Structure 1
C-alpha cells in the first residue's frame, strides 16, 4: 500500500527528539516494517535523522516566518497545497496527524470536485488541540481552528484517538461514532529492549548498598511531575540516584530545586537526547518513573510503554490510562498523583526488593511484546479500515 503521511503541525519535526516526533517515527517504522511505502508531507523536518529512516521520502512545505494569524493562515495554505500534491499521486491511503488549521485528509476523502478520486484516510487525534493551544500558546483564529477541526473529524474515514477521553471529545465535536476507534500509544519492541545483562536477584541481594538508578524520560514541563519526583527522591535513602533524560522550559527551575533539596549530587540532567540513544539510556536504569501530578490526563504516555518494553519495574501515578495500562499494579507500582511521601516510599520499597523488581520487569516486557508493539497498533487500524469504515462526510 502507498501511504501519504501528513504532518502539518509546525511544532513537530519529523526527525525531532521530543515525544511527538518519536511517535511519528514509530508509526512510520511500523507501516514500513509491514511492507507499506510511506511518503511524508510535512512543514518541519529537524536534523536528527535516524539511520533506519534515512531513505524515507519526505516532502517539506516550508512555512514563511511569522506567528499568530499569519502562521495559522500559512498552515491552512500548506494543507490545501499538500492535498493537491497527494491527489496528483497514486496513494492508497492518507494518514494524517491532527494539526490545527489542516484538513488535508478530509479534502481527499471527500473531494470537492465531482469525479475526483476519493482516498481513504485515517486521522490520528492525540489531544484536544484547540484547548491546548488556547491555554499554553496563542490562538488568533479560533473560529477557523474549529472549522477545520470539525471538517477533519467529519471527513476522515477513520478517527483514531489516543484515549477514550479524546475519543469522547471527537464524538462531541461531530465525528461519526461508527468511525471513531481508540488506539493507545505503543512501542517498538525491536528498538526498545531489556538490558543485555540485567542485574540478577542474587547479585542485588549480595550488594544491598549498591546504588539504584531511578530514571525519567520526557520533556521537562510542569504537567510531567518531575518536581514531585525530585522532592520524593530527597526523602529516599542515599543509595538512590536519579537520571533524567530530556530537557524543556522547566530544566533550570528543576536544577535549582535539586540544589535546594540537597540532592544535586544524586541527580543527573542529561538534556535533550536523540531517540536513537534512548534505548541505551533505559539499559542503565533499575527503576523507571512516570510521576504525573493530579489533573486532567487524556493522553497515553509514550514513556511508560518504553519503560515496559525495556523490562523496567515502573512506578507511575494512578491517573488517566495508566491504571489500565499497568493492569491495576500487576505491571508496575501505582501511586497517588502528586503524593511526594507515597512516591518516596514506593521508591525505597522497590529499591530494597530486587525480587519484586525482577518480577515486574519480566511481566512488563512480556506485555509490551504481546499487546503494545506499534506494528500491532497499525495492523489493527488498517484492518478496521478494510473491514468497512465508510468514506465521506457523515450526516
Structure 2
C-alpha cells in the first residue's frame, strides 16, 4: 500500500515519539509498503531506507521541546497544510497519523475518502494536563473532542500499551484496535567491546563504583528531579543522567550542588542511540522514576532487554507491564527510589534474577521480530479493510 505517515515532530531527535516513528516507518517499508513520512522541518537526518522523508515549512520558533508547547502548535499549521495537500494529490491508500496529527487530519481524510489509521502513542489531553500546559479550560476540552472524533472516524487505531488500548475502546467502542508495543533499542545478548565501556567510563569520570542510569527527556512527568533527590540517600553510587536540554541540565546541576551530590551526579547530555549499549554496559541499576503517565515508557522495553536490574515507580504506566518479579517497584518519591536502588545493589543475586526474567519476557513477547510480526498483522488487517471498501 501507499502510506502517508504523518508525524508532527522534530525528526530525527532522540526521544520517545521520534524513535517510535523511526521503527514503525522502517518496518512498514521492510514489509513492502511505499511510505512517505511527513515531519516538522526541525531535526537531524536519519537513515530511512525505502522511506521518502518530507518536511513541512520551517517557522522561526526555535527548538521544539518534548510535550505540548506554543511552538509546536504554530508548527502544526504549515504541517497540516502540507498534509492536506499531500492527501489530496498523492493517491494514498492510507493516512497513518501519530498523536495530534490524527485529530487534525480526520476531517480531511473523511472528506477525501482516505482511510485513517490513528497512532496513539500517548493521549494528547493527558499530555496537556501532565505538562501543565492546559489543566482545564477550552483547550483541554477541544483536545478531548478532537481526539474522540479522530478515534471514532478511524479505520483502525494502533496503540502501544494496554492502558491506551482500554482508553480507546472506552471512547470509541467500535474502533478496530491493534496493540503494537515499542521494540527495545538494544540487543541485550550482544555486549559492546570492553574498551568502549572503559573509554566512556573515563570520559564521564566514573570511578569503579556502582552506576545508576536514567536516560530520556527531563519533562516534569518523568520524575527526574525525584531521582536527583534520591542521590543523597544512596552515597555508595554514582547517578548518570543521559538526555535533557541544556537549561534543564543546568537547573538540576544547581540542585545537586545544593544537596552536596554534584560530584556523584553526572549529566552526559543527549547522546546518539548508537551509544546507548555502552551506557547500559557500564550501568549497575537502571531507573524509570516517572511520577505520572498512561503509556508505558519506550525506555522500559530497552531497559528490560539489557538484562540489567530495573527500579521503576509503582504507577499504572509501569505496572501494566512490570511486576515485582521483573523489577524493583517503588513509590514515586525520593525515599522510594533510593530504597529500591539500595535493595538492588544490596542483593545482586535477586537483582540478576529479576533482570533475567525481564530479558526473557522481552525475548518472548517484545523483541524486534515480534514487533515486526505485530505491525505486519495490523497492516494485513488494514489492507483488507482498504481493499474491501
TM beyond 0.5: yes
Secondary structure at the counterpart of residue 350 of structure 1: helix
RMSD: 3.5
Q: Deviations over 1:162-206 (max 9, x none)?
A: 344434444455x3434234444332455x6553479xxxxxxxx
Shift of the 299–101 alpha-carbon distance from structure 1 to 2, 3 Å rule, reads closer
Q: TM-score when scaled to structure 2?
A: 0.79
Tell me which residue corresponds to 1:88. 89
Tell me which residue corresponds to 1:155. 153
300, 303, 306: which one aligns with 2:299: 303
CA positional deviation for 1:156: 1.4
Cα distance in 2 between the residues matched to 1:56 and 1:285: 35
Shift of the 29–74 alpha-carbon distance from structure 1 to 2, 3 Å rule, reads closer
RCO greater where, 1 or 2, for CA within 8 Å and sep 6 or more? Answer: 1
- Gaps of at least 5 residues in structure 2 are 63-68, 195-206
Cα distance in 2 between the residues matched to 1:37 and 1:186: 22
Shift of the 150–256 alpha-carbon distance from structure 1 to 2, 3 Å rule, reads same
Report matched runs for 1:12-23 at 5 Å.
12-23=9-20
CA positional deviation for 1:86: 3.9
* Residue 5, structure 1, aligned to residue 17, structure 2: no
Report matched runs for 1:76-155 at 5 Å.
78-79=79-80, 81-99=82-100, 102-104=103-105, 107-108=108-109, 110=110, 112=111, 118-133=113-128, 136-137=132-133, 145=143, 148-155=146-153
CA positional deviation for 1:355: 2.6
164, 170, 174: which one aligns with 1:177: 174
Tell me which residue corresponds to 1:203. none
252, 261, 264: which one aligns with 1:263: 261
- Gaps of at least 5 residues in structure 1 are 199-208
CA positional deviation for 1:54: 6.7
Q: Deviations over 1:328-384 (max 9, x none)?
A: 22221111222x333223222322333333323332222222211355335324424
Tell me which residue corresponds to 1:331. 326
Q: TM-score when scaled to structure 1?
A: 0.78
Secondary structure at the counterpart of residue 96 of structure 1: strand
CA positional deviation for 1:106: 5.9
202, 226, 229: which one aligns with 1:228: 226
Contact persistence 1:123–1:158 (CA under 8 A): yes
Secondary structure at the counterpart of residue 244 of structure 2: coil
| Bigger shift: residues 126-135 or 244-253 | 126-135
Secondary structure at the counterpart of residue 242 of structure 1: strand
Shift of the 82–265 alpha-carbon distance from structure 1 to 2, 3 Å rule, reads same
Secondary structure at the counterpart of residue 103 of structure 1: helix
Flag the structure with higher helix content.
Answer: 2
Contact persistence 1:194–1:311 (CA under 8 A): no
Size of the aligned set, in residue pairs, is 364
Contact persistence 1:195–1:284 (CA under 8 A): no
